[in-house]
A and B are shown apart, each in its own frame.
Chain A
Amino acid sequence: MSTGATGFLQRYEDAVGRLPGDSALRAAAAAAFREAGLPGGTQGRRIEAWKYTSLRPVAEANFQVSPRHEAETLLSGLTLLDAPRVVFVDGVLRGDLSVLPAVSIARFADQPDFGTLTWPDREPMVALNTMLATDGVALNVPAGVDGGIVQLVSLSGGQGDFHPRHGIRLGKGASLTVVEVAAGQGAYLLNTVAEIHVAEGAHLTHIRLQDEATTAFHVSTTYADVQAGGTYDSFTLNLGGRLSRTEVHTQLSGPNATAHLNAAQILAGSQHADFTTVVSHAAPSCSSRQTVKNVLGGRSRGVFQGKIAVARHAQKTDGYQMNQALLLSPDAEVDSKPELEIFADDVKCSHGATVGELDAEQMFYLRSRGIPDAEAKSILVRAFLAEALDAVANETIRGLLETAVEQWWERQKA
């Protein structure tokens, strides 16, 4: 029997008195989820934002509490940075596996804070998270402080469904680098919601390395608000998952705020990965940059939806969006949907999309030098990805992502 929307709602009803935090907010989220259902599910309403990604397989899965798995083994198999880490196993913070950072952290389980930016009424998966979230972490960097690097590691297993709720708050002029790594084993659902506040002149670098089991479902929704002169610099690398959706909403609220929403997705087999962004230019002289690259093999499908909304008073907006896809197989598919909604009259906004196969001349050049076909392909694909990874300024972190890509290649060969 599948869990479906009904199953999730039942779970909420059963737990309702014991869930931490604002119960009215949870009740409202439950009502919204009841109304919306799972996008693509049989009872789900049709939602334009989910046009290219159907959660029918999520609706049809039977999620259940799974026996404890060896999180330690999974953790030791991961390549991580030599930096503080907050480790979640099946959605629950594990202090014994974590190396806590110097910056102030609070557990959602102890101090539940749903934030102010999310839209449970518009986003069914955010509603589901709001309904069922029990743990997560809030990182708080005071004004003027450099919080260094913090890794948020999520290890999942079995057939469970997990709904972590995170908050990141940077005071004026503060800086922080957050590296999220998600991995696991099994046919689980990880449905994360994160809310981010970047105050004036603060700088948050946010890396997501999604390397889930290829039988798993991964949904990650981020809401970020960036104040004057602040920067939200994010890079997402999607390698794993049977089906993944990474959704980032960024609001540039003060003048000269900057958002980078770069991503690369490398897929094989019948994987499906969706990278969806909404950038709201709500103040003048802000800039947003998005370079999204898809490398698609097998029967995989990559989706990029990028919306840039420019408010009437957001003059001198500079928005750039580029989506490039490399199709390695005739059965792979990419859907690209740029959307510009501009109400100001003095703006610079551009977008472009390219879809192609490997260049035949480049392939011949490499092979004519003795490099076998498969190796030549991998050289050209890596070169294609290198440009995307160049957006990651920190060399150590770029190295971590490059290692993940190399390991992905090794797995494809095996």
Chain B
Amino acid sequence: MLDIRGLTASIGDKPILKGIDLTVPAGEVHAIMGPNGSGKSTLGYVLSGREDYTVTGGSAMFNDADILAMAPEQRAAAGLFLAFQAPIELPGVNNANFLRTALNAIRRAHGEPELDAVQFLKLARAETKRLAMPDDMLKRNVNVGFSGGEKKRNEVLQMAILRPKLAILDETDSGLDIDALKIVADGVNALRGPDFSALVITHHQRLLDHLVPNRVHVLAHGRIVRTGGPELAKELEKSGYAGLIAEAA
């Protein structure tokens, strides 16, 4: 599914990613943990094509396609989805219209027929219900006036509707109460299957109780310093990153 080799990237002159090697096979959920400033969010942005980061070396293949050569919208059409750590507010843009435009753009790219407003609303209402979101969230402007938790749930709603092959969740659990956390985890679990993978960036073991990963990677100073099974997250929760980073240095 995703195969990253020796990926280096910088913002301005400052190197952030210093050689990432990471493979996420189809059907697996991998967690990325690590201290603040280690490059976790940067990895998500670089994979989804944000322009202020410069890739300086290495490669990232997504289902055998070089995604680094694609525009952000092409990456989305190819099946990549980034749930933003801080979802962007779009004043004046209706949430339902935004979601339908996005879904239809992706369907168009796949040569599939577009959904009309009625077909789309039926789908969207079913998903909002499943995510225990109020119906009026579709009527409001994208993320405007949403609470922190609502913004995160809105990201999961987008994911549920766009049905990506690879979802990168950037601290989607932060700022959520326990109930919301479970809803978010269930939303991702619902998509799990042989054709869906996820890269879950998190600080907390808590999310991983509900969304059990196949592998856990620890990122520090722009490199993956340790990889293990789900038990690695539990270990980190107890002992912190300091020992690991010292060991890797």
Question: Residues of A at under 8 Å CB distance from B?
Answer: 360-362, 364-373, 375-376, 379-380, 382-387
Contact B88 A361 (CB under 8 A): yes
Q: A364-B72, A375-B101 are in contact. Are A370 and B88 (CB under 8 A)?
A: no
Question: Residues of B at under 8 Å CB distance from A?
Answer: 48-52, 71-73, 75-77, 81-82, 84, 87-88, 90-93, 98, 101-103, 105-106, 109, 158, 162
B161 to chain A, nearest CB (A): 10
Q: When the two chains form the complex, which single residue of B52, B72, B75, B93 contacts A379, counting CB atoms closer than 8 Å?
A: B93
Contact B76 A382 (CB under 8 A): no
Interface of A, secondary structure class, is: helix
Other contacts beyond A368-B73, A371-B101: 16, CB < 8 A: A361-B88, A362-B88, A364-B72, A368-B82, A369-B98, A369-B158, A370-B102, A371-B105, A372-B73, A379-B90, A379-B98, A383-B90, A383-B91, A383-B93, A384-B92, A386-B92
CA distance A346 to B82 in the complex (A): 53
CA distance A362 to B87 in the complex (A): 10
Q: With a CB–CB cut-off of 8 A, which chain B residues contact A385?
A: 92
Q: A364-B50, A365-B84, A379-B101 are in contact. Are A370 and B92 (CB under 8 A)?
A: no
Contact B92 A375 (CB under 8 A): no
Q: With a CB–CB cut-off of 8 A, which chain A residues contact B103?
A: 370
Contact B105 A365 (CB under 8 A): no
- Give 29 A-B contacts (CB < 8 Å), ordered by A residue: A362-B90, A364-B49, A364-B50, A365-B84, A365-B87, A365-B90, A366-B98, A367-B49, A367-B71, A367-B72, A367-B76, A368-B76, A369-B76, A369-B98, A369-B105, A369-B162, A370-B73, A370-B103, A370-B105, A370-B162, A371-B102, A373-B73, A375-B101, A379-B90, A379-B98, A383-B90, A383-B92, A385-B92, A387-B92
B49 to chain A, nearest CB (A): 7
Listed residue (A360, A366, A375, A376) with the most chain B CB atoms within 10 angstroms of its CB? A366
Contact A368 B72 (CB under 8 A): yes
Q: When the two chains form the complex, which single residue of A373, A379, A384 contacts B71, counting CB atoms closer than 8 Å?
A: A373
Q: With a CB–CB cut-off of 8 A, which chain A residues contact B162?
A: 369-370
CA distance A368 to B74 in the complex (A): 8
Contact B92 A368 (CB under 8 A): no
CA distance A361 to B72 in the complex (A): 12
Q: With a CB–CB cut-off of 8 A, which chain A residues contact B71?
A: 367, 373
